[in-house]
Amino acid sequence: MADAQFDSALDLLRRLNPRDTKTNLQAITSIVPELTEDLLSSVDQPLEIRRCPQTNRDYLLCDYNRDGDSYRSPWSNEFDPPLEDGTVPSERVRKLEVAANESFDVYRELYYEGGVGSVYFWDLDDGFAGVILLKKGVTPGSQSSGEWDSIHVFEATDRARMSHYKLTSTVILHLANKTEALGDMDLSGNMTRQVEVDLPVESDASHVANVGRLVEDMELKMRNLLQEVYFGKAKDVVGELRSLGTLSDANRDRETQREMIMSMQK
């Protein structure tokens, strides 16, 4: 029953307004409290920002840098509020995490020209795993706003001179617009994609480059996909609901075209 309820909860969240995912998630877990932990770890929500007290730099919060009520800063490796024995990565994986944070900081500047990013790694029995988080918001006019959250979760499993990477990426994109002629327009949602690939690994530095390229390619694909769905598909469906030209003109055009084709076939 619990499995069926979990699937129903995910189905419901996939149908209800994505702008309200947080509220709806709370509502579902208040009806079925047993689902809370599973849902919190599998439903992506817009990321929250916190300032690291040690380095004074912003970092992002998610389930993967949380231990109890504390969050680990990728810049200081310290928990806030402080924890005596918070779970931290092994020395080797922490070195990789530091390097990945530096690399993705450059990536963030190049593609996002601002925003906040954080990378968290953790150990696995046969490799390691991690999450790359990127967030940016813009409010160019008082009447329009946009918010982008990228959540890339990966596992790297050791093979001989190779590593098997499995990447699951979600982008949450919220856009809002308001003008006199337009009224209120809200275009919000999230999309998820997965990829699995084997890549050569010479040293630990290869891991950062491999994951970097995987995320870079995935974000390019997803940005194109989002552009297509948000601005192409949505506009097409509006056109299916209402035709700007008259339908009798459209039918007449189709009829004329049909007659032309018929006459050419004679």
Partner 1 sequence: MPSTVELASSFIEGAPPGELADVVADVQALTSDGEDIIPSLLPAFKRYNETQLATVKLPGSSQEVIVSAFNELEDNRYFDPESQTSFEVDHTTQTASAAQSYPLESEQADLIKSLLKSFGVHAREHYPNCSYGVYPIENDSAVAIVLVSNRYSPNNFWNGRFRAIYQLPVSASSSTLTGNIHVDVHYYEDGNVALNTTKPVNISISSVSAESIVSRIAAAERDYQEALNRAFVQTSEGVFKGLRRQLPITRQKVEWEKVGGYRLGQDISGGKGR
Strand ranges, E, within the chain = 48-51, 58-61, 66-67, 70-72, 79-80, 116-124, 127-141, 144-159, 162-179, 183-200
End-to-end CA distance of the chain: 64
Binders of partner 1 among 99-138, rule CB under 8 A? 99-103, 105-107, 110-113, 136-138
Tell me how far CA of residue 171 lies from CA of 1, 127, 209, in angstroms: 30, 26, 21
Work out how close the CB of 265 gets to partner 1 at its nearest, in angstroms, rounded to a whole number.
Answer: 29
Contacts of 198 (CB under 8 A, 6+ apart): 159, 162, 163, 164, 165
Q: Which residue of 95, 252, 254, 258 would you call a contact of partner 1, by CB under 8 A?
A: 95
Judged by CB, which is closer to partner 1: 8, or 257?
A: 8
| 82 lines the binding site for partner 1 (CB under 8 A) | no
| 83 lines the binding site for partner 1 (CB under 8 A) | no
x/- mask, partner 1, residues 144-173, rule CB under 8 A, reads xxxxx------------------------x
Judged by CB, which is closer to partner 1: 122, or 230?
A: 230
Q: Which residue of 45, 70, 168, 177 would you call a contact of partner 1, by CB under 8 A?
A: 177
Is there a contact between 175 and 141 (Cβ–Cβ < 8 Å)? no
| 243 lines the binding site for partner 1 (CB under 8 A) | yes
Report the 10 Å Cβ neighbour count for 82: 9
Q: Which residue of 28, 133, 151, 156 would you call a contact of partner 1, by CB under 8 A?
A: 28
Which H or E run includes 100?
helix 91-112
Q: Which residue of 181, 261, 262, 264 would you call a contact of partner 1, by CB under 8 A?
A: 181
Judged by CB, which is closer to partner 1: 17, or 260?
A: 17
Q: Which residue of 51, 221, 233, 254 would you call a contact of partner 1, by CB under 8 A?
A: 233
Work out how close the CB of 63 gets to partner 1 at its nearest, in angstroms, rounded to a whole number.
Answer: 20
Q: What is the Cα Rg of the chain in Å?
A: 23
Q: Which residue of 36, 45, 70, 77 would you call a contact of partner 1, by CB under 8 A?
A: 77
What sign does the dihedral 41-14-22-51 (CA atoms) show?
positive
Judged by CB, which is closer to partner 1: 84, or 184?
A: 184
- Kindly state the number of chain residues that form the binding site for partner 1, as judged by CB under 8 A: 101
Q: Which amino acid is residue 40, in one-letter code?
A: L
Work out how close the CB of 104 gets to partner 1 at its nearest, in angstroms, rounded to a whole number.
Answer: 8
Tell me how far CA of residue 128 lies from CA of 62, 77, 100, 167, 238, in angstroms: 18, 17, 13, 13, 45
Cα(60)–Cα(120) distance, rounded to whole angstroms? 10
